[in-house]
Structure formats: structure tokens, C-alpha cells
């Protein structure tokens, strides 16, 4: 061994003679981060615009441009995150230490640090997203889009028609399976290169706690709300059985997924007419109120802006109205999935949605604008802190606004509803809310449970679909309307899977929003039940809320949560408090029924 070592030194004398590299200093770490942030800003300026153009004009050319921009950005971030590892163990100041950590977590799916890998990964991501967004299938001899299919799912009460449309859209996803498998393998390779076990572990590391501890935390939160979900499931199943009969929906066991009014059965509000209480009714329809008052898509967004203005926030910039996509164009393919954009980390904020004048999009507008106001609130933070306290916060900000926007109190405040109904309408109101908010919780949890299993290697491509439905049965108590084809890739029928957007954020948001709402109503001095509280016009609440938003991701999220709510732990008790009257009512309705599945 000694002879070989001497021979090696003879070839490379300088390498053997050179002293060991000096330990990097705290000052060097800080300088590295400052330079990294400047490079990230420059890359994002181009990548954001390329993504916006592709989402608004889906063509071969725009897909190429976005893939190129994403590949360059991914390659840059991977290089920076890898270089950051040399500062491991260096005693830096807390701000620099946090930035170094966040740099490794900057990308949802980092590319492997080898030539060509970033291009390959970016190409797969863009292709998957565009395949979904331009997907169509034949129905009754006509090629229809997801928008068309969603309308059928919401309005039809014909089980055969629902099954056909459900299967038609889910069939669009089958071609994505090979690309998704390749994407998952590349993403995992990149995550491992940055020191994570796999991509799922990288995602779970973004919550200021150990990845396994975070998984356990989501289990704890689910335990808090699962009994209520099962109560709702039991009631809805019985009403569907009464509507369709045993042959379509049995009295016991799981619910047929296509009967719930939504393509993914993630919200059930569209079947309120089927499950509404027999002894109480709602005196108004928000859909009808909007139509009767002459709302159009732009007025919907203006109303959302008005909510935030009432909290004391500055109006949206003129560029928002000039550059946002608010109505689906008829002359081109676009990504209709609603989203909020921060193009330049300053004032160029936008939304992109194919807005419909209905109750669902009324709430969606308030939600998407929440992203924009959050982005504007933290714009003065350094680059690596310009984000939500965690991704659940980012989703919850707008959902918190939408909780107020859903109340008859708010509809009365803005002139949509002449009078606020009495307490006799509380159960119908809460049932409508639960059909969206509570029905969503298990779906919000299981989408990433599936991806965590895929990324960990527990589930291979041959088991993709079986694993998906195993989780949907476990958490949601749902089954597909019929046997699935051998090549089915039903996870790909949900945008966030081909769109590569982590989903646990939405589960968390459905809990944070109620925590925010409870805290805000207490600060406003509200004395009534939580479900009737609107914080519209409460500028003191808005000021305190903005203090929380301004912090961005500059500190661990429990500290940021405490700034507004005084709490340092995610707590679903606010959810059960909000829905307590309904839970008691459901328990009464379910007497004598065999609940569970």
C-alpha cells in the first residue's frame, strides 16, 4: 500500500504536498449565501416568466422555453445546494444557518448533479403538466375538457353518466405513467445527492422538524378530525343510498367516488341538493345571488380585493388587472387550474384562473388573492425568506379570508344578501361548509402519503394504481365506480401529481385557516358562534395578521404562528369547535346506522 501511495504522489506531487483545505469561516458562509441569493433572483426572473407564458399559451415552443428555463434554474440550485454542504459544521449566525438550510430545500424536485439530468427532469415536468392541462376525451361523440367534465360531475344525477365521465377523465392520465416513473427516479436521485433519504423526506424536511416527526404530526392531526369525517361519511352514504338504491350505493361500506359531485371526491358541496337536511333549508343560493346581482369574473375578483382592502391592505397594482388571466380564452390552450403568481418578488403579482360566476369560484378568488397579499407582505425579506412560514401557511391565508367570505354575515356586509338568516339555517350552512372543508381532509392527507410511498420505493410503477386506491379506501372510505384498467394511472388525473405540487400543504391549510379564524374573531371581539363570524372591515385584525405575513420564512413556523394566534402548535380543535353544532346533528341522524367502512 505504501509503494502505491508513493507512486501516486510522484504523479501528483502538488496534490500530496498541499496542506489540508482550511475550514470555511462564518464570513465565507455569509458571503456565499449573499451571492447565491443574487443568482437565484436572476434565474427566477426568467423562469417565472417562461412558466407564465407556457401556462397561458400551451404550444411546443412555450413548453420548450419553460423546460429550458426550469432546467437552468434546477441546475443552478442543485449546484448551489451541493456547494452549501461545505459549510456544514461551520458556526454561522442564525440567519445564515437558516438560509443554508432553506437553500437545500429550495426545489421541490432537485435534479441529479450530473450533465443532462436537469434538462431531462425539466422536460418531464413540463410534459406531464402540459399533458394534464391539454387533456381531452370523447364523450357522446364530442371531445370535452376537464372543465366540461367537472360541470357534468357537479350537475348530473345519472349514475351511468357520472361513471362514464369519471372514467373518461381518469383515462386521460394513463399515458403519464411511464413519464412519472422516470420523473420520480430522477427526483429521488437529486434528493439523495443533497443528503436526503428520498424526495418525500426532502418535502417533509420543510417543516422545521425531523421528517419522521412531521409524518407523525400529520397523523396526530388526522386523529383529531377523523371521527367527524366518519360521521359525515356515514350520513352522506345513507342519503346517496336513499337517492340511488342499493345497486348503485349500498347502505354500508365505502362510497362510490363518482357520486360525490367532484372529479376527485375531494369536496362534496355539489351534491348538497341530495343530502340537504329534511327539516331545515337555506333561504339563499350564493350561485343565484351572484347571477342576480350581475357579477362577472372581473367583479368576482374586485370583490375579493375589497375584502383585503377592508383589512387595511393597499389595492392591487394596475399591472395585476392588465396581466392576470381571469377568463378562459377561447382561442388557445391554457392551464385552467387556479393559481397565484409572484413574477418579480416585488409588485408584479397576478392570478390565473378560468373564473366561473359561482359560489365555488367566489371562494377560490378570495383564496388565490391570499397568496398575492402574502407575497406582497414578505417582499422585503431576503430571497431565501420570501415564502410562507411553511407551505400550509401559504394555502391557509386565502382560506382564512374565504371562511369570512362564505358567511351570510359577509354576504350581507357587501350587499349580496339583504338580511342575515337566523339560527334555524345554521345546520344547512354548516353542512354545506363541511361537505367542502371536512370532506377534503382525508384527501388532503393521502395524496402525499401515496407519493411518499412512491419516492421511498415502497410502491413501484406496477403498484401505482392499487396503492392509490388502497389509500383512498383507508382514509376517504371511497372506491372507484368500476374495475380499473391494468394501465390506469389515476393519481395522474389530479393536477398536483403531474404538476409536481406537494399536497400536504392543503391538509395543513384546512386546519391553520380555522386557527387563524378563531384567533381573528377573538381579536375582533366577536361573541357569537365561530361559523357566523366575518372579519370584514377589521383593520386591527388585518394589521396584526400582516405582521405575521411579513415574516415570511425567516424563522421556524411555530414562532410565526404565535405572532398572530398566540399558539405554537397546529391544532385541529378550532375545526371541531367551528363545526360542533353540525357534528351533534349528524350523530343524531346516524343513530341506528352502521358507520365506517
What is the C-alpha separation between 418 and 352, in angstroms, rounded?
A: 31
Rounded Cα gap, residues 502 and 510, in angstroms = 15
Kindly provide the b/e burial profile for residues 443-469, where b requires at least 16 CB atoms within 10 angstroms of the residue's own CB: bbbbbbbbbbbbbeeebeeeebbebbb
Are 173 and 490 a contacting pair, CB within 8 Å?
yes
Contact (CB, 8 A) for 403 and 517: yes
5 exposure class (CB count in 10 Å sphere: 0-12, 13-18, 19+): exposed
Based on the residue annotation, tell me whether 496 is a catalytic residue of this protein: yes
How many distinct helices (H) and strands (E) make up the chain?
25, 6
Q: Is 241 exposed, middle or buried (0-12, 13-18, 19+ CB in 10 A)?
A: middle
Strand pairing report for 349-352 and 339-342:
antiparallel
CB of 121 closer than 8 Å to CB of 109: yes
At 457, is the secondary structure helix, strand, or coil? coil
Q: Contact, 287 vs 154, CB < 8 A?
A: no
Q: Which three cell numbers stand for residue 357?
A: 360566476
Cβ burial of 567 (10 Å; 0-12, 13-18, 19+) is: middle
- Annotated active-site residue in 37, 150, 189, 368: 368
CA 383 vs CA 33, 200, 551, 561: distances in Å: 10, 24, 12, 21
Q: How far is 56 from 144, CA to CA, in rounded Å?
A: 19
Q: Is residue 567 annotated as part of the catalytic site, yes or no?
A: no
Region of residue 371 (phi > 0: left; psi between -120 and 50: alpha; otherwise: beta): alpha
Size (the chain), residues: 597
Among residues 496, 510, 517, 531, the one annotated as catalytic is 496
Contact 541, 421 (CB under 8 A): no
Q: What is the CA radius of gyration of the chain?
A: 25
Residues annotated as catalytic are 368, 496
Amino acid at each position: 500500500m505504501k509503494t502505491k501511495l508513493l507512486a501516486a504522489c510522484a504523479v501528483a506531487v502538488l496534490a500530496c504536498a498541499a496542506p489540508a483545505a482550511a475550514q470555511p469561516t462564518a464570513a465565507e458562509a455569509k458571503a456565499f449565501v449573499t451571492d447565491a441569493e443574487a443568482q437565484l433572483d436572476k434565474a427566477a426572473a426568467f423562469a417565472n416568466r417562461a412558466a407564465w407564458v407556457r401556462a397561458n399559451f400551451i404550444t411546443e415552443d412555450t413548453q420548450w422555453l419553460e423546460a429550458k428555463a426550469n432546467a437552468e434554474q434546477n441546475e443552478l440550485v442543485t449546484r448551489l445546494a451541493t456547494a452549501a454542504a461545505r459549510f456544514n459544521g461551520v458556526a454561522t449566525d442564525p440567519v445564515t444557518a437558516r438560509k443554508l438550510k432553506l437553500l437545500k430545500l429550495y426545489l421541490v424536485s432537485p435534479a441529479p448533479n450530473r450533465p443532462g439530468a436537469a434538462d431531462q427532469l425539466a422536460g418531464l415536468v413540463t410534459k406531464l403538466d402540459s399533458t394534464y392541462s391539454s387533456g381531452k376525451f370523447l364523450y357522446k361523440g364530442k371531445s370535452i375538457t376537464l372543465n366540461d367534465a367537472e360541470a357534468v360531475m357537479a350537475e348530473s344525477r345519472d349514475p351511468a353518466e357520472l361513471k362514464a365521465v369519471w372514467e373518461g377523465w381518469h383515462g386521460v392520465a394513463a399515458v403519464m405513467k411511464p413519464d412519472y416513473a422516470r420523473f420520480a427516479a430522477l427526483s429521488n436521485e437529486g434528493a439523495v445527492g443533497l443528503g436526503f433519504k428520498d424526495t418525500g423526506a426532502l418535502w417533509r424536511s420543510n417543516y422545521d422538524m425531523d421528517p419522521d416527526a412531521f409524518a407523525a404530526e400529520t397523523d396526530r392531526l388526522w386523529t383529531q378530525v377523523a371521527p367527524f369525517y366518519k360521521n359525515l361519511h356515514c350520513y352522506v352514504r345513507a342519503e346517496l343510498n336513499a337517492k340511488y338504491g342499493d345497486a348503485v350505493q349500498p347502505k354500508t361500506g365505502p362510497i362510490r367516488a363518482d357520486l360525490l359531485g367532484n372529479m376527485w371526491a375531494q369536496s362534496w358541496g355539489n351534491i348538497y341538493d341530495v343530502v340537504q337536511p329534511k327539516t331545515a333549508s337555506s333561504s339563499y343560493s350564493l350561485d343565484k345571488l351572484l347571477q342576480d346581482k350581475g357579477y362577472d369574473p372581473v367583479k368576482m375578483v374586485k370583490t375579493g380585493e375589497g375584502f383585503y382592502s377592508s383589512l387595511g391592505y393597499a389595492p392591487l397594482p394596475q399591472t395585476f388587472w392588465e396581466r392576470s388571466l381571469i377568463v378562459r380564452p377561447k382561442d388557445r390552450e391554457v392551464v385552467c387550474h387556479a393559481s397565484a403568481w409572484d413574477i418579480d418578488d416585488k409588485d408584479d403579482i397576478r392570478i390565473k384562473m378560468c373564473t366561473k360566476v359561482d359560489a365555488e369560484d367566489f371562494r377560490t378568488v378570495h383564496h388565490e388573492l391570499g397568496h398575492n397579499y402574502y407575497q406582497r407582505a414578505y417582499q422585503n425579506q431576503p430571497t431565501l425568506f420570501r415564502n410562507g412560514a411553511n407551505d400550509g401557511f401559504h394555502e391557509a391565508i386565502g382560506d382564512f379570508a374565504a371562511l369570512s367570505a362564505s358567511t351570510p354575515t359577509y354576504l350581507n356586509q357587501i350587499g349580496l344578501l339583504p338580511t342575515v338568516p337566523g339560527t334555524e339555517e345554521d345546520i344547512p350552512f354548516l353542512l354545506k361548509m363541511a361537505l367542502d372543508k371536512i370532506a377534503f381532509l382525508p384527501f388532503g392527507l393521502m395524496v402525499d402519503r401515496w407519493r411518499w410511498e412512491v419516492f421511498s420505493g415502497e410502491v413501484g410503477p406496477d403498484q401505482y394504481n392499487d396503492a392509490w386506491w388502497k389509500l383512498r379506501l383507508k382514509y376517504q372510505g371511497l372506491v372507484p365506480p368500476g374495475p380499473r384498467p391494468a394501465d390506469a394511472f389515476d393519481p395522474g388525473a389530479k393536477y398536483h401529481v403531474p404538476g409536481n405540487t406537494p399536497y400536504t400543504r392543503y391538509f395543513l391549510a384546512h386546519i391553520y385557516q380555522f386557527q387563524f379564524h378563531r384567533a381573528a374573531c377573538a381579536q375582533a371581539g366577536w361573541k357569537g358562534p365561530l361559523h357566523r363570524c366575518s372579519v370584514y372591515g377589521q383593520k386591527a385584525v388585518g394589521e396584526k395578521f400582516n405582521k405575521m405575513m411579513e415574516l415570511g420564512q425567516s424563522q421556524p413556523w411555530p414562532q410565526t404562528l404565535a405572532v398572530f394566534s398566540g399558539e405554537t402548535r397546529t391544532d385541529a380543535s378550532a375545526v371541531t369547535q367551528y363545526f360542533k353544532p353540525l357534528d351533534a346533528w349528524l350523530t343524531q341522524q346516524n343513530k341506528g346506522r352502521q358507520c365506517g367502512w
